Chains A and B, each alone.
Chain A
Amino acid sequence: MKHLKQQWKTRTSIVLIVSVLVSLILVTLERTDWAMQINLQGYSHGSPEGEKPNIAPVLMYILPFVKELILIGVPMLLTLGVAKLAGLIKGMFKNKA
């Protein structure tokens, strides 16, 4: 815990102030034409209220985590692939020079 205690009051205050300020700027998004358009169109997602999806109850607890693993894991693997490819191309150009 000693690592967290280092100037924690000043640092936490700065993080809090910056985060609140950025959040307040983000709240102003609701005044944009874009936001008003979405509010006029309406928005809903998922199944209608009270209606349960037609899947096994145990899957209801597992599938959200599977979705997360895919949404995090696939871009992670793609990034690693792109980074490796970029490294290989860079290496090829260095060798040619």
Chain B
Amino acid sequence: MSNWKQNLQKFRYVMDALLLISFMLVSAPQATGVPLHEWFSLFFIVPFAIHLLLHWDWIQRSFKRLLSKLSARERFNIVWDYLLYIMMLLVFVSGFLVSVALLPALHISLNIQDFWSKMHHDTATLIMPMLGVHLALNLSWIVKLTKRMFAKEAK
């Protein structure tokens, strides 16, 4: 585990674990309170962006791969990841548009629409099962890396 910063796969694993933990923290406004939820959400952009940057090669290849011959599972995985990205943006956008703590603290006032409140509530709930499917589709990688991360180093 000591060399995780040097190894791309291990670095991805640690960053993805941090992303998952921060996602769970951000997705529990009933536990954290709305003001903390909104500030956490702002900082959540950082691990989310890191996740995209660390999978840059996959993103680049995915466009070409979608047009080539692929198994149904691989095609589904790519389309699902795009949908997850759009859904995440919808959660962010609707969240900022119904902000009652973050934007007022930054002296930005908005007229909150019921539509965005509903969108934020519904999309934030829907993104959790979507994430579950995303994790399931990449579970073999997660299990493999977990074993590698916690394997005892050879003496």
Report the number of A-B residue pairs with Cβ-Cβ less than 8 Å: 107
Tell me whether A30 and B136 are in contact in the complex, defined as CB-CB below 8 angstroms, given that A60-B30, A65-B24 are known contacts: no
Classify the interface of chain A: helix, strand, loop or mixed.
helix
Quote the shortest CB–CB distance from B87 to chain A (angstroms).
10
Tell me, yes or no, whether A56 is within 8 Å of chain B by CB: no
Could you list which residues of chain A lie within 8 angstroms of chain B, going by C-beta atoms?
A: 1-4, 8, 11-12, 15-16, 19, 22-23, 26-27, 29-30, 34-36, 38-39, 41-45, 60-65, 68, 71-77, 79-80, 83, 86
Question: CB distance B113 to A79 under 8 Å?
Answer: no
| Residues in B whose Cβ lies below 8 Å from that of A72 | 128-129, 131-132, 135
Tell me, yes or no, whether B103 is within 8 Å of chain A by CB: no
Question: CB distance B31 to A27 under 8 Å?
Answer: no
Chain B, interface size: which category?
Answer: 35 or more
Which A residue's beta carbon lies closest to that of B133? Answer: A79
Tell me, yes or no, whether B44 is within 8 Å of chain A by CB: no
Distance, CA A4 to CA B46, complexed state (A): 12
Within 8 A of A (CB), among B103-155: 113-119, 121, 125, 128-133, 135-137, 139
